[in-house]
Amino acid sequence: MTTVQTATGPAQTMVLNMGPQHPSTHGVLRVVLELDGETVVKARPEIGYLHTGIEKTGEALTYSQAITITDRMDYLAPMSNNLGYCLAVEKLLGIEAPPRARYIRVLLTELTRIQSHLVWLGTHAIDLGAMSVFLYCFREREDLLNIFELVSGQRMMTSYFRIGGLALEPPAGWLEPVKRFLSKFPSRIDEYEDLLTKNRIWLSRTKGVGVINAADAIAYGMTGPSVRGSGVDYDVRKYFPYSGYEEFDFNVPVRTEGDCYARYLVRVAEMRESLKIVRQALGKIPADGPIRADAPGIVAPQREKMKTEMEALIYHFKIYTEGFAPPPGEVYQRIESPRGELGFFIASDGSAKPYRMKARTPSFVNLQALPKLAEGRLLADVVACIGTLDIVLGEIDR
């Protein structure tokens, strides 16, 4: 507590705990706020309430088993996490997924991005008092979760991407719901925008709130839509393409204002860009072809081959009992998750388990800028600032 000068003379500041049990902290974030009246003097995010030691657990699992725990980090974008991890291990091994798997991966991760942005938009809006947007967003999200369930059998913890390709051949006709979604979703985005973009309450709650300039955003390591709202066009898909993104034609939406409204516009525009990528991916996915790399001893053999070929049976047994051992070395693979740069650092010691598996999660880094966004603003703006950073506590605390 410190003494501050107010209009009526010196006064004491008040310390207020926001969270960890607070609906607008999107999980178990605790922010210790020092308030002068309603003005935030100091904000200090306290994290760790969801720390489950995922990185330590990863060291005790084989490379394939560890895929399942990557889902649990960013539970709103499981496919992005799977992709980042699989690409990292593939880089370590020196293998690449076949084109069919690559394009399906791109298609599904872009749908994941839309799905994650929908949750962000819905919760951000409900935090600021716009209830109906939340219901609309979750209606469309349901369609996407159904697509994920169709291909992987799971709505959220998909673990569908595997090292060297995909877990299973997607079922016949799985592209139908994707196409239906593509045809109806653009008008749904218009609907959200009708409700918010020129809404005066929305404007006054987000415009000029939580401003951060480009230099500060980079200094705080911000990535993803949070930095693109400040005029920095850093998008890993463009800067360091992976999984064939260089073949896709899409724009990176950038705004220069650096406030909550700019970040809102960037994310909404990103949903439209993701639709573009999905549409192109539909045209690129080969009708048939392998979904797993031909890498015996690393990628599980096809079921049919196991019944006719001795080697396939042996490989299958060895992969699932002892795993595979990549060469010793370290790799870092970055991808553009819905929240920003998601990086997987994997150190191999030549054994079947990752010696060290570190996830550079975008929410963890972006949250660090919260004091910069919220200090000097009103208490109610803290809610807008947390919402605009689009944090997922699962990946912050790991």
Partner 1 sequence: MEERSAGLESPSHAPGPRFVTETTDLERNPVIGKVRAWDSRAVAEVIIFRGELTLVTPHTHLRPLAQFLAGESDLAFNLLSDITCVDRFPVEPRFELNYHLVALARRDVLRLRAKLPGQDPVIETVTSVWPTANWHEREIFDLFGVRFEGHPDLQRIFMPEDWEGFPLRKDYPTEGPR
Neighbours of 294 (CB within 10 A): 12
| CA quadruple 226, 232, 238, 243: dihedral sign | negative
**CB under 8 A: which stretch of 117-125, 260-268, 362-370, 374-382 binds partner 1?**
362-370
Q: Which is nearer to partner 1, 6 or 256 (CB)?
A: 256
What's the half-sphere exposure (Cβ side, CA atoms, 13 Å) at 273? Answer: 21
Size of interface with partner 1, in residues (CB under 8 A): 57
Interface pick for partner 1 out of 20, 22, 39, 96 (rule CB under 8 A) = 96
Question: Residue from 347, 378, 379, 380 that binds partner 1 (CB under 8 A)?
Answer: 347
Q: How far is CA 36 from CA 117, 161, 373, 376, in A?
A: 34, 50, 17, 9
Contact status, residue 388 vs residue 264, Cβ threshold 8 Å? yes
Q: Which of 79, 95, 108, 373 binds partner 1 (CB under 8 A)?
A: 95
A 10 A CB-CB count for 382 gives: 25
Closer CB to partner 1, residue 141 or residue 255? 255
Q: Terminus-to-terminus CA distance in the chain, angstroms?
A: 32
Sheet order of strands, 30-36 included: 14-18, 30-36, 39-46
169 makes contact with partner 1 (CB under 8 A):
no
- Our finding on whether 65 is near partner 1 (CB under 8 A) is no
Question: Judged by CB under 8 A, which stretch of 73-81, 95-103, 270-278, 317-325 contacts partner 1?
Answer: 95-103
Q: Which range touches partner 1 (CB under 8 A), out of 45-53, 108-116, 194-202, 248-256?
A: 45-53
Query: Are 26 and 20 within 8 A, CB to CB?
Result: no
Residue 240 in contact with partner 1, rule: CB under 8 A: yes
Q: Which of 32, 331, 378, 379 binds partner 1 (CB under 8 A)?
A: 331
**Residues of this chain, 368-387, that bind partner 1 according to CB under 8 A:** 368
Helix (H, G, I), strand (E, B) or coil at 44: strand
Closest CA to 72 of 340, 344, 393: 393
- Counting contacts by CB under 8 A, is residue 218 touching partner 1? yes
Among residues 239, 297, 305, 320, the one that binds partner 1 under rule CB under 8 A = 239
246 counts as binding partner 1 under rule CB under 8 A: no
User: In the structure encoding, which two tokens stand for residue 86, read together?
Assistant: 């699989």
364 binds partner 1 (CB under 8 A): yes
Shortest Å distance, C-beta 165 to partner 1? 10
CB 251 within 8 A of CB 219: no
Our CB check for partner 1 shows the closer of 26 and 141 to be 26
Q: Which stretch binds partner 1 (CB under 8 A): 1-9, 76-84, 131-139, 293-301?
A: 293-301
Using a 10 angstrom Cβ sphere, with 0-12 exposed, 13-18 middle and 19 or more buried, the burial of residue 47 is: buried
Using the rule CB under 8 A, is 329 a contact of partner 1? yes
Count of alpha carbons within 13 angstroms of residue 205, beta-carbon side: 24
What residue ranges bind partner 1 (CB under 8 A)?
47-48, 51, 53, 55-57, 59-60, 91-92, 94-96, 98-100, 164, 175, 218-221, 223, 232, 234, 239-240, 282-287, 289-290, 293-295, 329-332, 334, 341, 343, 345, 347, 355-356, 358, 360, 364-365, 368, 397-398
